[in-house]
Amino acid sequence: MSSTFSLEDWSSLAAIITASTAIILALASLLQIKEMRKAREDEYSPHIRAFLNMVETTIASLRFVNIGRSPACDLYFEIDFMKMDTVVDSRIYEQDTMLPSDDRDLILPQMQFKVLLDAFTDIVVSGSYTNGFGKKYNLNQTIDVKSFVDSVNSAKILMRSKDKIL
């Protein structure tokens, strides 16, 4: 029994290696196509965010914004207004559709800016929405009221010092 490979053996081995390489490349291409499709879908999906907003100089609101590139549908959010670890008040926010760059303000139970920090420590928003094809997205967001109040107060101080300089 000879341990040398014949020309036919080398040809068969080359064919097997070529076929294996083609299969691996085909699978890699399929995975890349799947990733590209997911990236495109993510790029053109709705993205809802909630944050505190000053409606007027003394009134705050909870603002919902669609920062995505497609409409959000069937929006449903439960909003818990927390004082430490206790739910002080709750609201439900529902909307059929929110277009890209669209926003909605929800007036807070304690909308006066001066009492906001005394009334709440956190605002917890949880819920879901869908894209135009029915794919569901979840929103679970906690808003720190103290950080918001501190940033607004800092902005007011800056504005006052700017007015004094001018």
Count the domains in the chain: 2
pLDDT in tens, the chain (166 residues): 456 778 788 888 888 999 999 999 999 999 999 898 887 777 789 999 999 988 877 788 899 999 999 999 999 999 999 998 899 889 999 999 999 999 999 887 777 777 787 888 999 999 999 998 889 999 999 999 888 888 877 776 666 665 555 5
Contacts of 103 (CB under 8 A, 6+ apart): 63, 64, 65, 66
Q: Do residues 53 and 63 lie in contact, with contact meaning Cβ atoms separated by under 8 Å?
A: yes
What are all long-range contacts of 63-68, with beta carbons under 8 Å and residues at least 24 apart?
63/103, 63/104, 63/105, 63/106, 64/93, 64/95, 64/98, 64/103, 64/104, 64/106, 65/101, 65/102, 65/103, 66/98, 66/99, 66/100, 66/101, 66/102, 66/103, 67/100, 67/101, 68/44, 68/100
Do 10 and 75 fall within a single domain?
Answer: no
Residue 8 is part of which domain span?
A: 1-43
Global pTM?
A: 0.69
112, containing H or E segment: strand 103-112
Do 79 and 121 fall within a single domain?
Answer: yes
Do 100 and 147 fall within a single domain?
Answer: yes
Q: What CATH number has the domain bearing residue 57?
A: 2.60.40.10
